[in-house]
Amino acid sequence: MSWMTCAPHRAAWMATCLAVLALGGCKARDEATPVQAPVSAAPAIAPLSLIPRPARLERGPGQLTLTPTTALLASDAQAEAVARTFADLLVTGGKPKLQTAIAAPASGAIAFVLDAQFAGASPEAYRLEVKPEGARVVARTPAGLFNGAMTLWQLATLDPAATAAIPTVTIDDAPRFGWRGFMLDSARHFQSVEEIKTLLDAMALHKLNVFHWHLTDDQGWRMEIKRYPKLTQISGCRIPAGDGGRDPASGQPRPYCGYYTQDQIREVVAYAAARHITVVPELDVPGHAQAAIAAYPELGVLGDRPAPLNEWGVNTYLFNAEDSTLVFLENVLAEMVELFPGRYVHLGGDEAVKDQWKASARVQQRIKELGVAGEEGMQSYMLKRLERFLVGHGKLMIGWDEILEGGLPPEAAVMSWRGIEGGIEAARQGHDVVMVPSSDLYLDYLQTTSPNEPPGRPDTNTLQDAYAFEPVPKELTQAQQRHILGLQANMWTEHTRTDARLEHHLYPRLAAVAETGWTPRADKRFEDFLARLPGHLHRLQALGIDYARTPFEVAIAVDDDRRAGTAQITLSNPLGYPVRYTTDGSEPGATAKAYDAPFPVKLPAQVRAAAFHGDRALVASSEFRIDAASLLSRSDEQLAVCPDAGRLLLRLEDDGPADGERAIFNVTIFYPCWQWNAADLDGIGQIRVRAGRIPYYFQLAHDEPSRTFEPAKSAHGELVVRAGGCKGKVIAEAPMPAAPDKDGFVELTVDLPQDVRGKQDLCLLMTGDTRPAMWVADRVTLVPSGG
């Protein structure tokens, strides 16, 4: 009998005039039965690069080849929609087309079947069977069927070659968590609808099912509210700091603008729904309110009109506590609940610095009128009232973990971002929880220490960190653990000016988050994930996603003996992939020397190296030229942070030019200084410093007292060089100019005293108040005597 036979007639299927194929001659495996390797005399089968890893998978011999004549069959209109999305995403090989009302389907067809009797472990569960004769995806719900289709799409893209061939498999799969989310901040920097759609396609590929959309903040209001048009007319724009906010031709202010119309929001919501992704919008209350107050000053405590600026940090503007302001927020929510059909609305509640409330006689009077417990009680009162409004409209409230501080209604859910402690407390109180700790799941943190990383927070959240995070704390009882809905990665965009930077930050770390959300904990192994990841990168390329190359690059460390003309070279890859290298300038291929230990070179030297998976380089090779000149120069990325500089190291972008690429600087904004540890000063006559200047546009709230600087002695400050660290002896000084040169930089050279020799920890800083602009080091060079 043929493996694929026509399914029995069902009236519901006939109503849609769609042919359905059922699998015959293949006994279903009991879901409780452990997965066993197929018994076959065929050669060993390579592992599949599926991400996230399915719960249960069996391999078989052979494959199903997709061609332009491959039939896609669906059980009803909902299954047809899934089949269409599958066909639309295919970009390799023959692209099959949906065929309906087929009397005698050809061999090799793919059936998408919704079956109310399918017994999956969750509403999102599915079964996928592929044989050379055809394939079948079955699920109880459209969401489950879509998940199966995404696995099938991954199987069809295992090889970047032109022909799409799907290996023979049987997969029974279901997610570990119901909330597998990603948050995008569109308030600080704005993304087009097309970029949002690309992101949603990638989320679907990774079986992520919640898109948390951060639409309002101090820096911009991105959501059209028809009742309050000034929210977008005024607060949809800001003037960026410095040169970025000036038209290069006229010198006039050039605003940075963007918002989503309600029609565009409906378009995004519909696009997400077609991929079984729920959109959760965020309206932040009572803090992060500066943009709203800039549009309607009567909403604030001070009654002034602050400009929504391109500022990083925590601003102090809060919504006031008047009943009229709460009515405003309810009116905004009334329009939001019509736009977003999902169950939850996010009400923020984070980083609400209460200074304005504490200083306001009117707010203090309001606290007494309402009989609440201080400022925290006032925040709780506001959120509880808005929560009741949401419940009245069939919605539930979710907020950041600060909302616990004043007490919550039992229906409210909590996102735990300041570690997992807030999530533990919320679960113990009976609240549902989504784990989003910044220490593991904030993707605006850099993912490697490479100098090729874009602007962001130089504290690293590596791919390993994202993969290792466990959302269910062991401190909770089994009953409390059921309140952990899942996990979510967050992407804040203060530093993310372009779509390419956004995609760099997200991928491949979002794949690691997705696997934690989907795959059983016992089946997660980072080494196995790394083996599957290279194949997955081809899928990202197929979607046009510009994923980060830095995790797959090779880094170099050089221990030099300049006077002997030699150096010891250490190579590494952040993920531990094998490294191959050459020293003759040639491109390292699969037969190049494998790196296994540090090796010596004679100067000058040229080293080219690449990380490999099998016989393929993961990214283009890195080229390193090491000579006497390169050993005497260090960029700001290569310099150390001064021990006394505080912890707030940022990787910041220059403010100009207005368009195009800009310089990037590593700087500790609390006390900007840089240190070259163990600089060899023998034979050195001068120190040359290349410096740039950037606006100081940060709001630090209660961290403001941590900002320190060395007082200037002259009009524009001085370059100061110390030996023995940042508390050591001043060995050189030079006055700073009033402004940098036309290229945005200035180069200063100071003489090195003859009595300062040997290896020294050199500390460099520029004196003077860091506001409104501060000097930042770009490169430091040691100049030999007579050079």
Quick one: 179-542 is in which CATH superfamily?
Glycosidases (3.20.20.80)
- Nearest 5°: the CA angle 27, 31, 37 is 70
Q: Which of 189, 214, 288, 431 is catalytic?
A: 288
Contact 530, 577 (CB under 8 A): yes
Looking at residue 238, its pLDDT comes to 94
User: How far from 756 is each of 562, 752, 762, CA to CA, in Å?
Assistant: 18, 7, 11
3-class secondary-structure state, position 607: strand
pLDDT, tens digit, for every residue of 370-419?
999 999 999 999 999 999 999 999 999 999 999 999 888 889 999 999 99
Strand 616-617 with 484-491, pairing: unpaired
> Which of these ranges, 22-26, 360-364, 437-441, 498-502, has the smallest mean pLDDT?
22-26
Per-domain residue ranges for the chain? 4-173, 179-542, 553-630, 633-784
Looking at residue 509, its pLDDT comes to 98
Architecture, CATH, for domain 4-173: 2-Layer Sandwich (3.30)
Mean pLDDT, rounded, for 257-272: 98
**CA–CA gap between residue 69 and residue 626 (Å, rounded):** 57
pLDDT band of residue 698 (cuts 50, 70, 90) is: confident
613 or 87, which is more confident?
A: 613
User: How far from 708 is each of 444, 703, 704, 735, CA to CA, in Å?
Assistant: 26, 11, 9, 20
Amino acid at residue number 591: T
Q: Clarify whether 217 is annotated catalytic.
A: yes
Residue at token pair 């000149």: 629
329 or 164, which is more confident?
A: 329
Q: pTM of the full predicted structure?
A: 0.92
Q: Clarify whether 288 is annotated catalytic.
A: yes
Contact 292, 222 (CB under 8 A): no
Looking at residue 97, its pLDDT comes to 64
Cα of 209 vs its chain's centroid, Å = 16
**CA–CA gap between residue 631 and residue 634 (Å, rounded):** 8
CATH number of this structure's domain 633-784? 2.60.120.260
Q: Which of 58, 133, 330, 351 is catalytic?
A: 351
Domains 4-173 and 179-542 share a fold: no
Contact 125, 87 (CB under 8 A): no
pLDDT, tens digit, for every residue of 6-16?
333 333 332 33
The sign of the CA dihedral 663, 664, 668, 670 is positive
Q: Clarify whether 31 is annotated catalytic.
A: no
Average pLDDT of the chain is 90
The answer for residues whose C-beta is within 8 angstroms of residue 641's C-beta and 6 or more apart is: 649, 668, 674, 675
Q: Flag whether pLDDT at 747 surpasses 70.
A: yes
**CA–CA gap between residue 121 and residue 240 (Å, rounded):** 50
Mean pLDDT, rounded, for 650-668: 93
- Cβ neighbour number for residue 232 with a 10 Å cutoff: 23
Q: Flag whether pLDDT at 584 surpasses 60.
A: yes
Looking at residue 673, its pLDDT comes to 94
Looking at residue 542, its pLDDT comes to 82
Q: Which of 217, 440, 655, 778 is catalytic?
A: 217
Looking at residue 100, its pLDDT comes to 52
Q: Flag whether pLDDT at 32 surpasses 80.
A: no
CA-closest candidate to residue 188, choices 310, 98, 62, 341: 310
CATH number of this structure's domain 553-630? 2.60.40
- Nearest 5°: the CA angle 182, 188, 191 is 65
SS3 content of the chain, % helix, strand, coil (to 5): 25, 30, 45
Mean pLDDT, rounded, for 768-774: 94
SS3 for 219-267, per residue?
CEECECCCCCCHHHHCCCEECCCHHHHECCCCCCECCEECCECHHHHHH
> Which of these ranges, 168-182, 204-218, 536-550, 638-652, has the smallest mean pLDDT?
638-652
3-class secondary-structure state, position 503: helix
Looking at residue 382, its pLDDT comes to 97
Amino acid at residue number 236: G
